[in-house]
Amino acid sequence: MIPRIPLAPWKRGPVLAVLALLLGLLMLLHAQVPTFAGIGSLVENLLPWLGVLGPVLLAGAVWRRSASATVALLLPVTVWLSLFGGLLVDKSHPGGDLTVASHNVSADNPDPTGTARQLAASGADLLALEELTPQAMGTYEKGLAKAYPYHAVRGTVGLWSKLPLSDTRSVNVVRGDVGPLAKTKPADAPKEPARALRTTVATDHGPLAVYVAHLGSVRLMPSDGFWTDSRDFGARALGKAVAAEPNKRVVLLGDLNGTTDDRAFHTLTARLSSAQETAGNGFGFTWPASFPIARIDQILVRGVGARSAWVLPETGSDHLPVAARISW
């Protein structure tokens, strides 16, 4: 009987090696993933989590004793670290002139009173709220009145401030005829309330333009795939508004229903920088609050610098609040 000669380590696990290379190429070329059915957007929103597949493939490579698969894993590891390695380092610095915070308080929040109390205790100078409802509006106004003498509300978004506000106006980020159920929506359906505003905050260093936005929701649907039409329309509209903003100092606060890796926000991220990415520590995931997997609540700035950024404790919402300290 001829003895069985084991495969050389370089010939073992060819499938694992191919999967490792494909994973690395997917992360490296994520911007080239087709937009069909929102696949590209979905991949980009979950991009950090693709790194979880690395240890899985490594375990398979060790089990198969595959040298080729182990070497192939260098590609996805290198790409992942180049994309997200910087987020693993604490980039916060002491100091700053103004603390800003943003929170999607959730229309289904069972405890708006407690949420208002927690947010008032955050110490933020500017507090943006999204997904406000007529039923809970009075609760937030009452609960925040002592800490914030100034506030402005447009539709479902508002800004509470310790500093005077002026020139507040709505920003149209709503496209009423777009939606997964648009075909069944009556022609005379009520107009959707405003979901974004722009206001001027009077600071000791001069005027600061502040935008508060809650972009349209996304849906994962069997017929439409990852549906993002409403959000993408709002992102383009908001990007145009920021591009036309005459004030050099701008802060954007809100629930954008997407991460900054998503190509839909290129017009915004080309002009604004993320406070979490430049001055945070970690990924700062905010949704869902019980087990956050994505940072869809953003603080973006232009003309001011972020000194630190962090995520606040859970409230009664399905989102976590975010905060940042900015300076001139």
Predicted confidence band of residue 11 (pLDDT cuts 50, 70, 90): confident
Predicted confidence band of residue 7 (pLDDT cuts 50, 70, 90): low
pLDDT of residue 183: 44
- Mean pLDDT of the region 234-261: 97
pLDDT of 216 > 60? The answer is yes
Cα separation of 103 and 127, whole Å?
A: 8
Q: Which fold has domain 98-327?
A: Deoxyribonuclease I; Chain A (3.60.10)
User: H/E/C letters for each residue in 211-226?
Assistant: EEEECCCCEEECCCEE
pLDDT, one tens digit per residue, over 148-206 is: 999 999 999 999 999 999 999 999 999 865 455 444 445 555 678 999 999 999 999 99
- Mean pLDDT of the region 16-42: 94
Predicted confidence band of residue 220 (pLDDT cuts 50, 70, 90): confident
- Mean pLDDT of the region 21-46: 94
Ranges of each domain in the chain:
14-88, 98-327
Predicted confidence band of residue 226 (pLDDT cuts 50, 70, 90): confident
| Cα 182 to Cα 21, 185, 214, distances in angstroms | 41, 5, 20
pLDDT of residue 191: 74
Residue predicted with more confidence, 225 or 21 = 21
Q: Is the peptide bond before 288 cis (omega within 30 degrees of 0)?
A: yes
pLDDT of residue 40: 93
Mean of pLDDT over the chain: 93
pLDDT, one tens digit per residue, over 73-113 is: 999 999 999 999 999 999 999 999 999 999 999 999 999 99
What residue type is assigned to position 260 of the chain? T
Residue predicted with more confidence, 314 or 226 = 314
pLDDT of residue 13: 84
pLDDT of residue 224: 67
pLDDT of 38 > 90? The answer is no
Name the nearest CA neighbour of 292 among 261, 252, 260, 322: 322
Q: Which of 59-63, 127-131, 178-182 has the lowest mean pLDDT?
A: 178-182
Q: What is the H or E stretch that residue 298 is in?
A: strand 297-302
pLDDT of residue 202: 98
Residue predicted with more confidence, 3 or 256 = 256
Dmax over Cα atoms in the chain, in whole Å?
Answer: 91
Q: Which of 27-36, 268-277, 294-303 has the lowest mean pLDDT?
A: 27-36
Cα separation of 176 and 173, whole Å?
A: 10
The two structure tokens encoding residue 78: 């290198």
pLDDT of residue 22: 97
pLDDT of residue 5: 47
